[in-house]
Structure 1
Amino acid sequence: MMSETALRDLNLLPMSERKNETASKEFITKSYVEPTDENIGGKQRNTAVSLVEPPVNGKEVAHCGAEVVIAEVEYIESDKLDDLKDVDKSLKVLVAGLESKDWVLLCETLNNVRRFSIYCKEALEDILEHVISLVVKALKNPRSAVCKTAIMTSSDIFKAFGNNIVDALDPLLVVLLLKSSQDKRFVCEAAEKALINLTISVSPVLLLPKVQPYLKNRNPRIRAKASMCVSRIVPRLGAEGIRDYGIDKLIQIASSQLSDQLPESRESARALLLELQIAYEKSPVSAPEQDMLSDEPKLLPWQQFCESNLPKISAQAVLRVTSVAREGVGSGL
């Protein structure tokens, strides 16, 4: 075990002496070497290589033989990333860096992918699909530092390339949905932010069919995150776009989530239903339908629509949600 004196000496080192000259300025590496071999019964025991991840965001501790190394990664927001100093040189080593088993180099290269996306995305166009596949691999890395940096990279790729990433989106989307539903809070938050950027950056008409299958995923957490995505995507269609996509299809999607296991799914379904109701009532087909119903028992157009497109129990649940919301608006709640 490292002595208190050694720890104190390490912490007193000037920051300039702790920097690893081979890494980018986003990475600070502190190291201390202490013998770990012990004599037991006259025989020497060699410590096996092991990796321990402490509960501090962005830090990794590696015990390798006689050396203990602590590497700390700083997560830099997109607007704080500086431009690449040498675009051509960085591009030549980009793929190799993304394939590296050196996790510090991998994080540094992921940040370079972010820089390319922000400052010179044209340089990535020819290798974008391959880069995305390597980012997906990094997302699955067990190291939280690598995982979060890859998530931030995904977010910047979404903002930079928009609809151009749709064909390569499926493996990226499923991992982000999974990461956004896991227990490590700082990873979850980063994944949720990336999904928000995805829903903002990609055309809703293209994105909705990609997200929709995950509403039926076996994992209730993935279903919940997919529901949240859908509730953000649909309003971007606008009333006319919702009608063109099919309000009947969308109301079936929303009603199926009303009874889902997690509250996030149910809340997202309620929000989506309100959007659909507003879009339906703005639809020019509502007025003729009202006239057609004049000789029959008085039914609200929305009520008629729900009952004609959903099973009775589902229609009742939808109407209960939308009527309560309307009463709340009417009463100023």
Structure 2
Amino acid sequence: MALRPLDNALPITPERPKKQTKVAISVQKQSDAGVNDENRAPFPPTSADATIDYISSENLKALPDPDISIQSLVDGLESKDWLKVCDSLNNARRGKVMLILLESTTSDAFDQLLLQLLLKASQDKKFVCEEAEKALKAMVGSMAPLSLLHKLQAYVSHANLRIRAKAAISMSHCASKMGLEAMEEFGLVPLIQLASDSLNDKLPEAREAARSMVTSIYAKLTEKEEEKQEAWQTFCQSNLPAIHAQSVIKVVSSQ
């Protein structure tokens, strides 16, 4: 028997679509910034001081009063706040600051500044390291190489390997700027001995800097010599231990 449709059956209505759940993300008000809530993660600082832009040396404007900057330069470099360190490194590359540095190469403040730049150039933080290296290059470019070389020679035997390497690099830059007269004023024998010491250093960058320094000394020393190799060998063998002399001679002969 066929089933009859039920007249009293309720009509089937289509199911209403479910509403999407709205997730409200509350933004912390300025007045709530200092509220201590153990159930709320702290918001990151939004200060613009959290970033620092690199400014190339040619775009750095001279400071109106560089004396003030020099007084606080070492303190800034010694700071644990890397933003202050970078700001001090920027100041170390400014023109007027370099002019004052030229006049203070005999002061204890300059010795402290040089040490801090070498320390910062030896750090693991890439940005700080690069800025310190640029400041050292600016120093070499602005100062008489002879004066700076006298300051740098103390760091060739420093206990810190990286400081030794950074000092060797700056010394090689100084040597490349010197003529024979300036080298003789410093002392050709002490100069080749410094290069020889760095040539046997553990770090490759120190050894590379030493090779560059040896090349500069060779070029100036033998500039007017007809028998360049013979004059060079005689000079090295007369002023260095045999094993060191052989290493220094090999630098030139292998080029």
1:79 CA drift (Å): 4.8
Counterpart position of 1:151: 89
Distance 1:179 1:34, change over 3 A: same
1:189 counterpart letter in structure 2: E
1:75 counterpart letter in structure 2: D
Counterpart position of 2:11: none
CA distance in 2, matches of 1:81, 1:308: 48
Partner residue of 1:164 out of 82, 98, 103: 103
Distance 1:305 1:175, change over 3 A: same
Query: % of aligned pairs identical?
Result: 34
1:261 CA drift (Å): 1.1
1:258 counterpart letter in structure 2: L
Partner residue of 1:241 out of 176, 179, 182: 182
Counterpart position of 1:324: 254
Alignment of 1:199-218 (within 5 A): 199-218=140-159
Distance 1:6 1:182, change over 3 A: farther
Confirm whether residue 74 of structure 1 aligns to residue 52 of structure 2. yes
Unaligned ranges ≥5, structure 2: 1-22
Q: Please report the RMSD computed on the Cα atoms of aligned residues, expressed in angstroms.
A: 3.0
Q: Select the structure with the greater relative contact order (CA < 8 A; seq sep ≥ 6).
A: 2
Aligned residue-pair number = 226
CA distance in 2, matches of 1:169, 1:137: 12
Distance 1:35 1:199, change over 3 A: same
Tell me if the contact between 1:32 and 1:68 (Cα under 8 Å) persists in the aligned partners. no
1:280 CA drift (Å): 0.9
Distance 1:245 1:145, change over 3 A: same
Tell me if the contact between 2:63 and 2:97 (Cα under 8 Å) persists in the aligned partners. no
CA distance in 2, matches of 1:131, 1:162: 11
CA distance in 2, matches of 1:150, 1:321: 38
CA distance in 1, matches of 2:195, 2:179: 17
1:33 counterpart letter in structure 2: A
2:104 counterpart letter in structure 1: I
Distance 1:69 1:235, change over 3 A: same
Q: Which runs of 4+ in 1 moved over 4 A?
A: 78-82
TM-score (normalised: structure 2)? 0.78
Tell me if the contact between 1:227 and 1:269 (Cα under 8 Å) persists in the aligned partners. yes
1:246 CA drift (Å): 1.9
SS at match of 1:115: coil
Alignment of 1:1-333 (within 5 A): 5-6=25-26, 33=33, 35-38=35-38, 69-72=45-48, 73-75=51-53, 77=55, 79-80=58-59, 115-116=63-64, 123-124=65-66, 128=67, 131-156=69-94, 158-166=97-105, 167=107, 168-283=109-224, 286=225, 300-325=230-255
Distance 1:134 1:158, change over 3 A: closer
Structure 1 or 2, whichever has the larger Rg, is 2
CA distance in 2, matches of 1:281, 1:81: 40
2:117 counterpart letter in structure 1: L
1:259 counterpart letter in structure 2: N
Deviations 1:2-53 (A, max 9, x none): x99356x99xxxxxxxxxxxxxxxxxxx9982743248xxxxxxx9xxxxxx
Name the one with the larger strand percent. Answer: 1
CA distance in 1, matches of 2:47, 2:162: 32
